[in-house]
Chain A
Amino acid sequence: MAIIAEAKHLKAYYITQSYGIERTVKAVDDISLEIKEKEILGIAGESGCGKSTLLKALLGTIDPPLKIVDGTMQYEFEESYNVLSMSKDEIKQIRWTKVSYIPQGSMHVLNPVRKIRDTFHDFIATHQNLNKSETTQLSQDYLQKLGLSGQVMNAYPHQLSGGMRQRATIALATILSPKLVFADEPTTALDVLVQRGVVQLLKEIQQREGSTLVLVSHDMGVHANLADRIAILYAGKLVEEADTRSIFKNPLHPYTQYLIESLPRLDDKTERSSIPGRPPALDNPPEGCRFHPRCPHAMDICTKEVPPLVDMGGGHKTACFLVSEEKT
């Protein structure tokens, strides 16, 4: 499969300076990632591991104090775009029509004093030369295709339920048939039933449009349902990357093993153990492998050297000396 976007050695740090003390938070530290055409790539990891920051870098919405220290990020459409150095015009040109974004917490992403219809108009008219009645017609048709009532168009955001608002936001993000969609925690803060509906909606859109979906979530259940491939982040580093089946059946990295272990199973009623310790603070991460203070298999080398991401065959990559040492 062709590659639609590729990140190489991305380093995105939050650099703040107050009263002469510089503080650097290495939220994304040397991450390389390939996104293949028409796949659903899940990016998983616990809170504060750099998921959202990685997404910002992939999307190219870098605002201070976030800074790209090193690395490249490219989209490959008909032509390639260097995401980290796009001009304003280029951004306007590719956003929504080629690359789109479903934000975290749709509670507040819709302008509270504008009707949904007007928000749709604002977003569409920015990219296509259509007048108000045309954009209204277009969005009404699209909402109906997604199984949403056209009534939504005349509502204000606060008049919609959380689930409706999330669906309207998904519709808003995908209305111009983008090839590449980034979704940041699209199911967070929704109840399980609504989550299911939203997951189905995302999958339906992805399949119908043949688009690529990059899904960031801490919820392994959502990934199991949706993703073709999963990338596991830990403390700003990519620790494992494989197809969904391999991640769940044969996790190689101890962190991934813990993650999978902690998921509830229908046939098993024993208590789930949690990972000992806490995730490290990213302004002062541990030397060597960042997981070693919590790892039950930590070796000498883990405290000194950073394990490289190694392909174990079949695209199953992991960054752990346990596995890579065995192999060499």
Chain B
Amino acid sequence: MNLLKSYFLPRLSQWLITILVGVTVTFILPRLLPTDPVERTLSTLSSLQTMDPRAVESLKEALEDLYGLGGSPFEQYINYWKRLIRGDLGPSMSAFPTPVIEIIGAGLPWTVGLLISTIFISWILGIILGTLAGYLPKNLWCQIMDKIFISIYPIPYYILALILVMSFCYHFQVFPLVGGASGKPEISWSYLSSILWHSFLPATSLIVGSTAFRFIMAKALTSTIIASDYVHYAETAGLSRWRIVLFYVIRNTLLPQATDLGLSIGAIFSGTVITEVVFSYPGIGYSLYMGLLQADFNLILGITVFSIVGIATAALLVDLSYPLLDPRVRYK
């Protein structure tokens, strides 16, 4: 009970405040913009056809209501929250009148599936390989690996992605260029394997880049840990190599690594714009890019709200996990 009060509650309130502030900013920002979405929509409509002024007037009211722009700013703010809690993020402006939540809902499974799997794979690979390279700096294989990752790391991600697309979709047409799957959505081997097939290149591009980053991070963390007295002492006592790597080195580097993992997972709700655009993958990163091109700020803000909640929740979970990872972190 005391633990709940002194450890859990302050962090939970911090989480709430972060979301409150973030969402308030998403409410204020578009209202400071010089463009008026209602006028914009009206002008788009009236450029296509001549309209009766009275019809225009009533349409304007309907649009203001739809975009939550009716009433005083305070009423608007209250209504904004009410709608958010209902899960109503307003209509998309580019694909009017499809609700934003539907667009996000369609893209989310693709993005989450792609990112969760690549984050975990690259996290585990990076830590294991990086720790080995840091622990055995004289080993030939570790040195080769080190050189490879150090050369991959500075390559800008979009170049890496473009090289993959050019090589394996265009010159050697091994992988498909567009989409997340082929065939009818159903639980069957052919459909599931087509998901894997379509995601192979985007996943590879993500794994290569972030494994290189985590490899370098794990190697740097390891180099400080292996200079510590407890590793030397364990070596003096003749402890086996795997026991030292697992329980003495990796275990002690886990705190920053878990933070990195948590925040990476939290960031998946904003998608990976470059990956999804380059590989034409139907996730929310792609939707976000389309939204940006068409000034669809309901969609942009909807994705932003998701990502605010996602990152704040990830930070909360990471924070709550610290005492499990390092007994020296106090519950205070």
Interface residues of A (CB under 8 A from B): 59, 61, 91-92, 95-96, 101, 103, 105, 107-114, 118, 122-123, 126-127, 156, 158-159
Contact = CB atoms under 8 A, between A and B. Distances in A.
A127 B238 contact: yes
A65 to B, nearest CB: 14
A227 to B, nearest CB: 23
A92 B229 contact: no
B238 A109 contact: no
Contacts of B325: 113
Contact of A103 (B233, B240, B243): B233
B252 A123 contact: no
Contacts of B234: 111, 122-123
Contacts of A159: 327
Interface size of B as a range: 20 to 34
Contacts of B236: 59, 61, 95, 101, 103
21 contacts: A59-B236, A61-B236, A91-B238, A92-B238, A95-B236, A95-B237, A96-B237, A101-B233, A103-B229, A103-B236, A109-B229, A109-B233, A111-B230, A111-B234, A111-B248, A113-B251, A113-B326, A123-B234, A123-B237, A126-B243, A127-B238
Given A92-B238, A112-B252, A112-B328, A105 B229 contact: yes
B228 interface: yes
Closest 6 pairs (CB-CB, A-B): A92-B238, A108-B229, A109-B233, A156-B327, A95-B238, A111-B230
A109 B233 CA distance: 6
B172 interface: no
A305 B56 CA distance: 111
A257 to B, nearest CB: 36
Contacts of B230: 108-112
From A110, A112, A118, A127, name the one whose CB has the most chain B CB atoms within 10 angstroms: A112
A101 B236 CA distance: 8
B229 A114 contact: no
Chain B interface mostly: helix
Contacts of B243: 122, 126
Interface string B222-248: 000000111011101111100100011
A175 to B, nearest CB: 11
Given A109-B232, A158-B328, 19 more contacts: A61-B236, A91-B238, A95-B237, A101-B236, A101-B237, A103-B229, A108-B228, A109-B230, A113-B325, A114-B247, A118-B247, A123-B237, A123-B239, A126-B237, A126-B238, A126-B240, A156-B327, A156-B328, A159-B327
A122 B233 contact: no
A43 B175 CA distance: 71
B252 A111 contact: yes
B68 to A, nearest CB: 50
Interface of B: 228-230, 232-234, 236-240, 243, 247-248, 251-252, 325-328
A108 B240 CA distance: 20
A108 B326 CA distance: 15
A9 to B, nearest CB: 24
B251 A114 contact: yes
A113 B247 CA distance: 9
Nearest to B248: A111
A81 to B, nearest CB: 14
A122 B239 contact: yes
Contacts of A127: 238
Nearest to A108: B229
A85 B237 CA distance: 17
Given A122-B234, A156-B328, A158-B328, A113 B252 contact: yes
A92 B237 CA distance: 7
A130 to B, nearest CB: 15
A61 B240 CA distance: 16
Contacts of A111: 230, 234, 247-248, 251-252
B228 A158 contact: no
Contacts of A107: 229
B233 to A, nearest CB: 4
B203 to A, nearest CB: 33
B196 to A, nearest CB: 37
Nearest to A173: B237
Contacts of A61: 236
Contacts of B240: 126
Contact of B247 (A101, A109, A122, A158): A122
Nearest to B244: A122
Nearest to A102: B233
Contacts of A114: 247-248, 251
Contact of A113 (B229, B232, B239, B327): B327
A96 B326 CA distance: 28
Contacts of B229: 103, 105, 107-109
Nearest to B243: A122
Nearest to B240: A126
Contacts of A110: 230
Q: Select the residue from B238, B326, B328 with max chain A CB neighbours within 10 A.
A: B238
A186 to B, nearest CB: 14
A127 B238 CA distance: 8
Contacts of B252: 111-113
A118 B232 CA distance: 17
A119 B239 CA distance: 11
B303 to A, nearest CB: 38
B328 A126 contact: no
A153 to B, nearest CB: 14
B220 to A, nearest CB: 19
A122 B245 CA distance: 13
Contacts of B232: 103, 109
A111 B325 CA distance: 13
Contacts of A92: 238
A157 to B, nearest CB: 9
